[in-house]
Structure 1
């Protein structure tokens, strides 16, 4: 397991995947987004660039290490919100 906090019990069971209500597997750029997310985690950087908007997006690992939900609707939010 990729433990990131002292208490991982607050994370969604599938916290490493995008929050389904914020990025559907049917999204036309799902594969590209998933690839960029995985690369950012591999490189241990907190964000990647969204291919459509150009905005920076936080990775699930970064958000989990922060240890709380900010309630901003993050794409990779690891918490149940």
Structure 2
């Protein structure tokens, strides 16, 4: 079978990886976990938010010394 004949699942699937709300694309926690890192944009479903906030706060605190 030729590789072009094989059907592959799309990498970014609506409903599983993202949905639209008021015209905005919202990524799901499942997708964000698979991506593997926090982008720092405070995504609504970010599973890394507590870690990202701690890192940002500690940077800001140390720079004011």
What is the TM-score with the length of structure 1 in the denominator? 0.41
Structure 1 residue 62 corresponds to structure 2 residue 31: yes
User: Which structure 2 residue ranges, 5 or more long, are not aligned?
Assistant: 1-14, 53-65
Matches within 5 A, 1:6-25: none
Structure 1 residue 46 corresponds to structure 2 residue 46: no
Cα deviations by residue, 1:14-67 (Å, 9 ceiling, x for unpaired):
xxxxxxxxxxxxxxxxxxxxxxxxxx2xxxx311011xx211100000001111
Question: In proportion to residue count, which structure has more strand?
Answer: 2
Taking the aligned partners of 1:56 and 1:68, their CA distance within structure 2 comes to: 18
Taking the aligned partners of 2:25 and 2:37, their CA distance within structure 1 comes to: 19
Q: Which structure would you say has the larger RCO, counting Cα contacts within 8 Å and 6 or more residues apart?
A: 1
What is the TM-score with the length of structure 2 in the denominator? 0.50
Question: In proportion to residue count, which structure has more helix?
Answer: 2
User: Which structure 1 residue ranges, 5 or more long, are not aligned?
Assistant: 1-39
Over alpha carbons, which structure has the higher Rg?
2
What RMSD over aligned residues (CA atoms) do the two structures have, in Å? 1.8
Structure 1 segments of 4 or more deviating over 6 A?
Answer: none
